[in-house]
Structure 1
Amino acid sequence: MSPSTFPISTPVSSVLTTPLSERAYSDYVDSVLEDGTAFLQISQDLFVVNGWDLKAQRSKDTWYHIRSLIGSELVVVCTCPSSNPDGVLCVHEYLLRENGAEFITHDISDTEEVILFTRQVDFDNDDNFLNHFSCPSPNKRGLSGRVIVTYDGCDDGRGRWRCEKDSTHICGHIGICRTRFQQLVNSADYVGQDGALVAPEFDAKSSGSDLSVSYHRRPPPVWAALPTDPIFPPNPFADDNSLPGEILLAEDSSCCCTKERYFYRPTDRNAIKRRTATIYRLFKPHTTMLELQSCLCKRRFIGPECGYLGIFNYNNKVLFTHEILDEYTSAFTTSETPFSAWALVVSRRYGQRGAAFCSVDIFRAAWFSYVRLLHLEADMVCPKCGPCPENTIWDGVTLAFNRKHLLPSLEPPTVSQETSLIRQSTVYVPSQQILSDSATRRLIRKVITGPALILGDGLDKNVVPTAEMDAEEEEDGGNQQSTSSSSSRQHILERLESIPLAVARISGTNPPLSRFFDLHFGNSAVVTRKVPPDAYKRFFFQISADESVLQTVNMSALEVLEKFVKSPTRLNASALVGIPVLHDILMLELGDLHQLPAEKGDILEVCLWLAQRGRTVFAWLKKDGAVPKTITSPEKSWTEVASDFSLLILQTGCCYGMPKIRERPVYPRLKHDTRPDPGGKRGAKCSKYYSQYGEKRLTGGIMCVWCTHSICYGFHCIPKGEGRNDVFSALITRWERPPKRVIYDFACALGPYCMTREPEFFAETQFLIDDFHAVGHSKCAPAAFLKTYCAVDPRLRHINSSAGECGNSGISRIRKSVSYMAQDRAIVYTKVFLSIWNRQRIRSL
């Protein structure tokens, strides 16, 4: 269990029966709660802790074991030098003895084996890690037989090994730990996303409550401010002249012991104390005196808020200027800057001035407390695209944390509720293709795939096989070339033989379509050496596609098509940009004419049949009524929560610029509704595969939605494996009306997924694959690609289909840092990054 859950409620005065002072114990408890000191349970009755410097009031790099013996009373024994056999307890024993029953977890395995209890990355060298092991002795059992072994190096085991009891390289403890380490490296269960060993189960550093003495909302940094931000009181710059020697209590002073704060009691002056505190600035620290008041919680103190001074009061001992906290925000949103690397830089800067910076754990905890107070709201909307952009780009991002940190509160949009609408009539509808017969579709594709089929006196020998050509190639002895040419000729011969079969089968479905196909690809066209323009080839490739007719003709395009059928003019044909393959051939058929002549009746009949086919399939799908109703009292979005923006996103992992207005419906007759695609495969009809989002022990990353200006409209955490359900659920639960275009790297399957479930809602939406991912979809028809529509509609040329990839490249800066975080901090870190990312782009717009 993480230290953040230690409810240290026992009054300190009732605990202290030894020379250990009340303040010394209080400082240690605060450090444990605020991640400055590790206190980790690694088995049923065994703990590992950092050493504690009573004079400096800070954690040491040393490690010790504590054994707890639970009988009629809790007895604890610590191996640190401060523990005394005469009964004088060290701070570790105090904490475990007086509060152990409240935070000891019993669902942890009990083992006497080697335990890798912490693993930290070396940010000077990405391949190196600092690993700590708790190792038993081969010939000694119990607490005295346990030693700490440290390994510093990469995962090949050839780094530096150290044992706390034996400095020789032939130490038996090191040998045992080296063997265990190799077993972990070779185990698939312990291999992370980048192939490196993941952090161990016991390295669950607390994410803390992230409460601080300062609690007033703060404006974003000046360089990230927007004109739409509310007006805050002036944020002073804390320099040498403005830093006070003493900071007094005021009406807004409070304690950070609980969310329901205890405030300053002006009438209780007897509880006032004065203590020194350190204000950490950008270049050197400043020592000040704080006026404090004992809190009713009996453990902490009420202290000044300090925001009006440009200072963030973390815990009445450690304070930071807003400048230094904003400096880290600027650093990690600009380039890859983990906390440890940044704190090391500041420590060196301090060292040049003969001062020391706080520990990275304290700074990390303070920064997370600070950013929760920043007004990073109303920034997930593009000023040009508006709150409901017509074009949205969706993409899953491998921004994942370890699955062991998943909390039950995580609730992506894919989760249905008890109040969700149940669609009993929704079923899978087969044969949604334009041509329902699969054999006919295969024949058409076989005829039109490959070089043009032409016959004539000047026929090239690579096109039509003859007996004389076979004899010539045998005399030449070109075995390899002969085999290739023979195969090519055989393929061409099979294509020629398929023409009459294809014409006959099409005629059984729609005679005008059969005549139109025969005109451009039939035997007469082959004999007369008539090579049809590519537009006809694209048209019949779409007609024979294995995808729904509604991918080719959505409801908005269908209305335009029906208008053209009633009045087949050039003007109406030019409006068919929603059906690019039809638009192109109609422009060719019309030529310079203003209206389609009577002799072109077959193509007009094909248009009518295509419109009827679209209406028929849509009617099949539309069995369960209209769009789900919106929630009568929609939940507040996190942007409406003035006191703590993380109230919702920390619990649910959802952060969108619009509130949740619907519950995801339930489809009991769709057996694969919420099940991820098996094996990561994206369907047999599409050659595109899922990227491996998250290895076995990582979450599935996040799903982001962007506008064409690379501004993020929101994201949600994916517990396991990205899928079509993530996009569908986000749209149905947050969007009042869907975008006109949903651009996604798996749009060829997302469209049928959405139309099967909510055809009325998505009736006018185009599902398109962006240019970057289109090369991986070799089996998909033209209607699935954004570039097909851009070629006929000049209004779409401004769509930046790579906006998601641009955003992903930015998010990659925080991938490593997030992978080591617990859920709540990973979400906050991601939200802050995306808010700053958006604000910089909004300012440039």
Structure 2
Amino acid sequence: MPVPGTQKIDTSIFGSLGYEEYTEAILQEGGSFYQIGRDLFVVNGWDDRTKQSKTSWYHLQRTVIGVDIVIVCRCPLATPDNPCVHERFLSEYGDEMFPADEEFTAAADVVLFSRQETAEGYYLNYFSCPSSNSRSLNSRTVVTYDGDDGGAGNWSCKKDSDTQSMSRYASKTGLNRPLCEGQTQDAKAVSYLPISPPTWAALPTDPVLYERRLPLHDPPSIIPLTETSSCCCSQPRVLFSPAASTRQQTCMIYGLYGYLKTSIEVQTCSHCSHRLIGPDGRELGLFNHNNQRLFTHDLLDEYTSAYTSSETPFVAWVTVVSRRYEVHSGGAQQFVSNKIFRAAWFSYVRLQFLEGDMTCPRCGPSPDNTIWDGVTLAFNRKHLLPTLEPPTTSQPSSVERQNTRYLPAQQLIDNRRLRKLILKVITGPPLEEEEDEEDEEDTELTAASGGARSRKEGARIRARKEMLERLEAIPLAVAGLSHIDEALGSLFDTHFGEVSVVRRIVAPNVYRRFFAQICAEESVLQMATALALDSLEQFVRLPSIAHGSALVDIPAIHEIVTYERSQRCDATISDGFVCVCRWILNRGRMIFNTLVKSPEPPRIMPGIAEKSWIETGCCYSLPKIRERPKYPKLKHDVRNEVGGKRGAKCSKFYSQYGEHRLTGGIMVVWCTHSISYGFHCIPRGEGRNDVFSALITRWEKPPKRVIYDFACALGPYCMTREPQFFSGTQFLIDDFHSVGHTKCSAAAFLKTYCNVDPRLSHINSSAGECGNSGIARVRKSVSYMSQSRAIVYTKVFLSIWNRLRIRSLE
């Protein structure tokens, strides 16, 4: 009787067990094959009928007995006479993927080999556990624990019902990370040279990598080996050797309407011995997947065109192509499965040159106006890997801001009661018109009767009570403002005082908007940035119409300067208003200087290589130049904003993240021409930290305007942490979302600045929403993908989106 795993294995029986499909699943699809000890492995079960992996787990052992390598698996498919797919795979690929390493300790204790997050703070853990009195392969079992890290969840084991002892033992191990995470990456293809983007998405700045060819219709009789031919088994690659022997084998070239059979020249790899060196094929318009299946560039680009134009999952597209093959071949040909095509497409687009397309040719590398928006483009949290590193992640080398603390009372008027009094006076219909309204109501009451008369009378009583309260608030508001600044109290008394009410003088709307900004609940730096305060200082020193008209970054003051210019013949500014501006200047400078405690964060030392965006999920046109600082005295930097909560006054929750167990989506930045400058994946709900961290780590100088649907809270968040860096940045809410921000002042709205500065009319504040409508096409497909594939899929979509926008601009 042959020993499983030795030279005596009869490989003729493996066709019925789906060995080729299993190998494809492990090498191309990132299947589960974990090494947990020097000679011990854990594998998923295999269904030989459906040719798919199962959720069950089994142990596999590889030992050396004499000169033979003995491999034994405990899955139901493995028998002494008929080895299973796991045994053959380890026999053929073990030396390459799992080489013997003496530093790899033997798995004698409990090993946590898989850990997947099922809900926030809850994980599905798989342990490989030995018996207390045996070290044999039969004695090991897989124990499942579903719950939090406290150990109070559900334990299950087929061999042992005493889960309490297992719980205590698992807690002592401290193993809390999955093994072999790198195996989830897509396997490398034989083709490896850079590939040009599709013709319909090419840019003039793209390099000429090779001479483009028309789609292949008649294949060559043989695809020969060239000097660039290689094997994908190692890095650097083993290249073709003219001195070694070669041979020919049959291959399939899959095109748009059918496949073509031809011969391909190959050479045995001297490094791995079981793989073949093959031609790259790009000069023929071919992508060599594995020397057996080759795909034309136009076929692979066809799917890129389809999914970037409309919602097109892989399964649906493969079904369409399969039917096309059947029609054009009379039913004689079949297309590859969606799993094989997915693996080939992802390997293909990773080689495609989609660089230099995340910069708008009109806005430049650092646009003054940026639109930020979080998009619910998310994958399942069970695929979340520790390699994901958004800009919000602090590093050991990050600088610590020990002096940074929250600064209360940043409003222009720090007296909350006084702010309410001012709002009571200036809010509602003009007080001067109340008497006329009462006369009209008396006329209506004369003609009314019954219930209608009663309702009218009740409304009249409430209106009169409100009017009296507003009138009583006037002297208190004037006195409070005069206590703060005499000129401020005088200005308010002139337009909203009792004398104006008696004389029935209606205050101009510019003063009503001005005092609404004065008593806003926001920081004074929302009304006037530190850079705008410099312009205000020039106006205070030399109060002229010219200097006043330059205050477009402080619309409330600019409007009054414009109004007074239209009312005065001598074109001068009143001394009282200049004194009010001086008070605003002093208050703003005091708040800003109190916030500034440290210089800008230091830059990263040159020469440090940045991690791949495929691993980190962080892909921006600008390189990383700083680490995100740490703020230990700020509670939101010690404790994350749970559940995607983004603030106290204007909270926003993404319930679909928790309901569908998805990650937090992506944060995307756009210019005004709807061209994306990059994105990063959000592990959990979107928050202010995402925009702040992306800006502080990537931007040399922040944009002049950051347009965001939650800018009312983003501004204080950024100014509290890095006021020096964001001193000249305006945080504004776009027109679409400003309708829902009823508690925010006009200084937080982009349209307020557009009203006084026509140069801002070109800003398309809906650029983010336009881009989001396109991203919605891939939301369903991404939700089923692993982390690395979701990142690549998103990057390719945004690159194609940008390229088409850039082509239209040019």
Query: Shorter-chain-normalised TM-score: which range?
Result: 0.7 to 0.9
Alpha-carbon distance between aligned partners in 2 of 1:291 and 1:13, rounded to the nearest angstrom: 31
Partner of 1:189: none
1:694 paired residue among 646, 651, 657: 657
Alpha-carbon distance between aligned partners in 1 of 2:577 and 2:44, rounded to the nearest angstrom: 80
Partner of 2:603: 630
Q: Secondary structure at the match of 2:677?
A: strand
Greater Cα offset, 570-579 or 394-403: 570-579
Measured at CA, do residues 537 and 290 of structure 1 come closer, stay the same or move farther in structure 2, by a change above 3 Å? Answer: same
Partner of 1:612: 586
What code does the residue aligned with 1:447 have? V
Partner of 2:83: 89
After superposition, give the CA deviation of every residue in 1:785-807 in whole Å (9 maximum; x if it has no partner): 00000000000000000000001
Alpha-carbon distance between aligned partners in 1 of 2:249 and 2:82, rounded to the nearest angstrom: 27
What code does the residue aligned with 1:411 have? E
Kept in 2: contact 1:64–1:78 (CA 8 A): no
1:49 paired residue among 34, 46, 49: 46
Kept in 2: contact 1:15–1:98 (CA 8 A): no
2:256 paired residue among 282, 285, 291: 282
After superposition, give the CA deviation of every residue in 1:36-69 in whole Å (9 maximum; x if it has no partner): 797789xx988432437xxxxxx75798988657
TM-score with structure 1 setting the length: 0.78
Greater Cα offset, 825-834 or 449-458: 449-458
Are 1:326 and 2:301 an aligned pair?
yes
Offset, 1:757 = 1.0
What code does the residue aligned with 1:304 have? P
Alpha-carbon distance between aligned partners in 1 of 2:448 and 2:475, rounded to the nearest angstrom: 31
Partner of 1:731: 695
Partner of 1:552: 527
Partner of 1:138: none
Q: Secondary structure at the match of 2:552?
A: helix
Are 1:17 and 2:14 an aligned pair?
no
Measured at CA, do residues 520 and 495 of structure 1 come closer, stay the same or move farther in structure 2, by a change above 3 Å? Answer: same
Kept in 1: contact 2:251–2:291 (CA 8 A): yes
What code does the residue aligned with 1:232 have? L
1:526 paired residue among 484, 494, 501: 501
Alpha-carbon distance between aligned partners in 2 of 1:62 and 1:402, rounded to the nearest angstrom: 19
Greater Cα offset, 223-232 or 581-590: 581-590
Offset, 1:89 = 2.5
Partner of 2:239: 263
Partner of 1:219: 196
Are 1:759 and 2:723 an aligned pair?
yes
Are 1:666 and 2:630 an aligned pair?
yes
Kept in 2: contact 1:219–1:232 (CA 8 A): yes
What code does the residue aligned with 1:666 have? K
Alpha-carbon distance between aligned partners in 1 of 2:114 and 2:630, rounded to the nearest angstrom: 39
Are 1:537 and 2:529 an aligned pair?
no
After superposition, give the CA deviation of every residue in 1:194-213 in whole Å (9 maximum; x if it has no partner): xxxxxxx9xx9975433110
Partner of 2:781: 817
Q: Secondary structure at the match of 1:288?
A: strand
2:766 paired residue among 793, 802, 809: 802
Measured at CA, do residues 756 and 399 of structure 1 come closer, stay the same or move farther in structure 2, by a change above 3 Å? Answer: same
After superposition, give the CA deviation of every residue in 1:714-755 in whole Å (9 maximum; x if it has no partner): 101111111111111111110011111000011111111111
Measured at CA, do residues 455 and 297 of structure 1 come closer, stay the same or move farther in structure 2, by a change above 3 Å? Answer: closer
Partner of 1:487: 462
Alpha-carbon distance between aligned partners in 1 of 2:694 and 2:346, rounded to the nearest angstrom: 27
Offset, 1:90 = 4.3
Measured at CA, do residues 554 and 64 of structure 1 come closer, stay the same or move farther in structure 2, by a change above 3 Å? Answer: closer
Greater Cα offset, 302-311 or 735-744: 302-311
Unaligned runs of 5+ in 1: 1-11, 53-58, 111-142, 144-200, 638-646
After superposition, give the CA deviation of every residue in 1:89-124 in whole Å (9 maximum; x if it has no partner): 3435533688899699953699xxxxxxxxxxxxxx
Partner of 1:711: 675
Kept in 2: contact 1:50–1:60 (CA 8 A): yes
Alpha-carbon distance between aligned partners in 2 of 1:284 and 1:362, rounded to the nearest angstrom: 16
Kept in 1: contact 2:735–2:765 (CA 8 A): yes
Alpha-carbon distance between aligned partners in 2 of 1:230 and 1:727, rounded to the nearest angstrom: 33
- Count of paired positions: 716
Alpha-carbon distance between aligned partners in 1 of 2:47 and 2:350, rounded to the nearest angstrom: 28
1:50-89 matches, within 5 Å, as 50-51=47-48, 60=51, 68=59, 75-76=72-73, 87-89=81-83
What code does the residue aligned with 1:399 have? L
2:25 paired residue among 28, 32, 51: 32
Alpha-carbon distance between aligned partners in 2 of 1:688 and 1:533, rounded to the nearest angstrom: 34
Kept in 2: contact 1:49–1:66 (CA 8 A): no
What is the identity percentage for the equivalent residue pairs of Structure 1 and Structure 2?
51
Alpha-carbon distance between aligned partners in 2 of 1:69 and 1:280, rounded to the nearest angstrom: 37
After superposition, give the CA deviation of every residue in 1:255-302 in whole Å (9 maximum; x if it has no partner): 112333222232221xx3322111100101011112222222133111
Kept in 2: contact 1:389–1:739 (CA 8 A): yes
What code does the residue aligned with 1:603 have? F
Superposed CA RMSD in Å reads 3.4
Alpha-carbon distance between aligned partners in 2 of 1:451 and 1:107, rounded to the nearest angstrom: 69
After superposition, give the CA deviation of every residue in 1:177-221 in whole Å (9 maximum; x if it has no partner): xxxxxxxxxxxxxxxxxxxxxxxx9xx997543311000001111
Q: Secondary structure at the match of 2:48?
A: strand
What code does the residue aligned with 2:557 have? L
Alpha-carbon distance between aligned partners in 1 of 2:440 and 2:187, rounded to the nearest angstrom: 74
Kept in 2: contact 1:310–1:322 (CA 8 A): yes
Alpha-carbon distance between aligned partners in 2 of 1:838 and 1:406, rounded to the nearest angstrom: 27
Alpha-carbon distance between aligned partners in 2 of 1:722 and 1:675, rounded to the nearest angstrom: 15
Unaligned runs of 5+ in 2: 35-40, 64-69, 100-106, 116-137, 139-177
Partner of 1:240: 217
Measured at CA, do residues 719 and 15 of structure 1 come closer, stay the same or move farther in structure 2, by a change above 3 Å? Answer: farther
Offset, 1:634 = 5.5
Alpha-carbon distance between aligned partners in 2 of 1:77 and 1:677, rounded to the nearest angstrom: 46
Offset, 1:776 = 1.0
What code does the residue aligned with 2:693 have? S
1:653 paired residue among 612, 617, 633: 617
1:404-553 matches, within 5 Å, as 404-454=382-432, 458=436, 460-461=438-439, 478-553=453-528
Kept in 2: contact 1:570–1:593 (CA 8 A): no
Q: Secondary structure at the match of 2:419?
A: helix
Greater Cα offset, 670-679 or 420-429: 670-679
Kept in 2: contact 1:414–1:730 (CA 8 A): yes
Q: Secondary structure at the match of 1:454?
A: helix
Kept in 1: contact 2:14–2:85 (CA 8 A): no
Q: Secondary structure at the match of 2:559?
A: helix
Partner of 1:780: 744
Kept in 2: contact 1:767–1:784 (CA 8 A): yes
Q: Secondary structure at the match of 1:703?
A: strand
Are 1:393 and 2:357 an aligned pair?
no
Measured at CA, do residues 674 and 730 of structure 1 come closer, stay the same or move farther in structure 2, by a change above 3 Å? Answer: farther
What code does the residue aligned with 2:232 have? C
Offset, 1:361 = 0.4
Measured at CA, do residues 47 and 823 of structure 1 come closer, stay the same or move farther in structure 2, by a change above 3 Å? Answer: closer
Offset, 1:764 = 0.7
Partner of 2:151: none
Measured at CA, do residues 419 and 813 of structure 1 come closer, stay the same or move farther in structure 2, by a change above 3 Å? Answer: same
What code does the residue aligned with 2:255 have? R
Measured at CA, do residues 593 and 533 of structure 1 come closer, stay the same or move farther in structure 2, by a change above 3 Å? Answer: closer
Offset, 1:413 = 0.7
Alpha-carbon distance between aligned partners in 2 of 1:71 and 1:222, rounded to the nearest angstrom: 51
Kept in 1: contact 2:73–2:84 (CA 8 A): no
Kept in 1: contact 2:29–2:184 (CA 8 A): no
Partner of 1:117: none
Measured at CA, do residues 348 and 674 of structure 1 come closer, stay the same or move farther in structure 2, by a change above 3 Å? Answer: farther
Kept in 2: contact 1:409–1:652 (CA 8 A): yes
Alpha-carbon distance between aligned partners in 2 of 1:64 and 1:593, rounded to the nearest angstrom: 82
